Structure 1
């Protein structure tokens, strides 16, 4: 049974770091499992201070209490370790005492960039967020048959976990959704931060479940403040003569209309990263089930 449970763990969490399959057998002890676990946690190199992103396009000034994982290592975490589809992250932020395989994993912040064009924010003052929420709930419900057809469970939008707020001066937007996935006991937190720039926007997405919402809210201001575009790439550097304007405004950015245009499958991928929570939880549970009596 030890071997069965351990293979389940490998398949679910995607431990491609463990190359020697012959070393995995029924004689494995808690210590040997823990050794693999610790070696993965120790394989990452984190940064502090101000980090330059993607060819000097933007910077992250790592907030106090956090550490930064670069793009290459973040890709390994998201794809190889957590089992998400291939992506191009710019990096990730982790609380100081958390690693990608921590027993006490709480949340992480994935950082990406979308070059969709300059986001005209003229609509920001006129958005009725209650009306927008109802529209988003309907869109999510309409997408469920396609998700089921593709082999995934249904997803429902419960409501705002944190209502949208747009800082017109800093050109930063943030909001959070509470999502209910089929056959899950704990609802998912989808906390979105957008930093608008000349040609697109930075995405800082919190990966976690609803239990970490108070913790995220206590730290969200410094996470938001950490990201900035460099000179020449700022929102104020927009040149209408040469720069592209996005086909949507603030409301479309919140509603995720850009994803909907790419089809239902693109909408699915946005939430696949939350497999990470289940994978880490599974590892913790497996250790208890396999070695609980040790």
Structure 2
């Protein structure tokens, strides 16, 4: 009886683990016969149960998505998308739509990271004027642009909300999207910075989408499914909070501002923006596809790579 029970538990444990697939198993075709294909054939496209111990989170990946490990995430960001090595450091993995490989033009990716800054109060969810927050962020970015350009960064303009902040009290998830413009050239295209935050007892799981502005509708549609993949472990859930737990130094408004590299002074409501904007763009890195920089490298060559990406994507974004 004891042996039978152990065997049953072992089988159930195997069934609950991630199902890793090869490129052919995932997409029903062979890898491309090019340099990208050499990288793609080394990736494990995972579905099922994914444990993220560093975040006290379990992901349940349905057949709508697939997950890539931190190691494979580094390969995608550096080897496939042409960004510097090591810039995915700290990422806990990536989430992709199951219908696209990481190199497909129609693909998007969500970089996963964890911020263990403490319990973020949602008390300001109903009272915050997010349009005022937007204007404060715009003003702070504009005021800092001369210093950014002097340091070798392109000027940055926050055009507005691509999707306004929304907080779901049931799932304790916040999401919003920014419409961004890098540089001052008249033909520079807008880019999308879509952020999702799922609150836990001790910190926040961060999902930051790497996508084009033309993919906004699709991402808006999948957000509920993405949020539903996330479950904090027992005693680590937002609802498990007890008096005396570590509190984050900001609320929801501060979380949005910090996601844009802007810090709100706790008491004064003032904004300050440092040159670390790219570093603090909702992630320790700003991950961007195929030739876009994902680290804070203040050189003109990086900006040329950013421009080349949007030029290459122009046909698919019309």
Q: TM-score, normalised by structure 2?
A: 0.71
Question: What is the DSSP-based 3-state SS (H/G/I as helix, E as strand, rest coil) of the residue aligned with 2:96?
Answer: strand
Structural mapping, 1:112-127, within 5 Å? 112-127=113-128
225, 236, 239: which one pairs with 2:242? Answer: 239
Matches of 1:88 and 1:66, distance apart in 2: 22
Deviations 1:146-199 (A, max 9, x none): 221221111101111111111112211111111111146321111110000111
SS of the residue 2:278 aligns to = helix
Give me the whole-angstrom Cα distance separating, in 2, the residues matched to 1:227 and 1:58.
Answer: 7
Q: Distance in 2 between matches of 1:41 and 1:264?
A: 37
Q: 2:276 aligns with which of 266, 275, 278?
A: 266
For residues 249 and 203 of structure 1, the distance between their equivalents in structure 2, rounded to whole angstroms, comes to 15
For 1:96, the equivalent position in structure 2 comes to 98
Distance 2:46 2:195 in 1: 23
1:142 is matched with which residue? 143
Q: Hey, what's the Cα distance between the residues in 2 that align with 1:79 and 1:147?
A: 25
SS of residue paired to 1:152: coil
Please list the CA deviations of residues 212-247 of structure 1 after superposition, one character each: whole Å capped at 9, or x if unmatched: 111111212111211121112111222332x21111
**1:191 is the counterpart of 2:194:** yes
TM-score normalized with structure 1 length: 0.77
Change (3 A) 1:218 1:260: closer
**In structure 1, distance between residues paired with 2:278 and 2:216:** 22
Is 2:52–2:58's contact at 8 Å kept on the other side of the alignment? yes
Q: Which secondary structure does the structure 2 equivalent of 1:175 belong to? A: strand
In the TM superposition, structure 1's runs of 4+ consecutive aligned residues that sit over 3 Å from their partners are: 79-82, 257-263, 275-282
Quickly say closer, same or farther: Cα 1:219–1:181, change in 2 above 3 A: same
Moved more, 271-280 or 86-95: 271-280
Structure 2 CA distance for partners of 1:233 and 1:193, relative to 1, 3 Å: same
Number of aligned residues: 251
Structure 1 residues 207 and 34, CA gap change in structure 2 (3 angstroms): same
> Residues 102-123 of structure 1, C-alpha deviation per residue, up to 9 Å, x if partnerless?
3x24311111000111101111
Counterpart CA distance in 2 for 1:63 and 1:149 is: 46
Aligned to 1:48, the other structure's residue is in SS state: strand
Give the distance between the partners of 2:131 and 2:231, measured in 1 at CA. 30
Distance (whole Å) between structure 1 residues aligned to residue 139 and residue 215 of structure 2: 26
Q: Considering only aligned residues, what root-mean-square deviation do their CA atoms show, in Å?
A: 2.7
5+ residue gaps in structure 1? Answer: 1-32, 286-294
CA 1:238/1:277 → structure 2, altered by over 3 Å: closer, same or farther?
Answer: farther
CA distance in 2, matches of 1:133, 1:160: 8
CA 1:63–1:155 in structure 2 vs 1: closer, same or farther (change >3 Å)? Answer: farther
Q: CA deviation at 1:87?
A: 2.4
Question: How far off its partner does 1:53 sit?
Answer: 0.9
* Mapping of residues 17-32 of structure 1, within 5 Å: none
- The match for 1:201 among 200, 204, 212 is 204
Task: Specify the SS of the correspondent of 1:74.
Answer: helix
Give the alignment of 1:141-220 within 5 angstroms: 141-182=142-183, 183=185, 185-220=188-223
Q: 1:144 to 1:63 in 2, by over 3 A?
A: farther
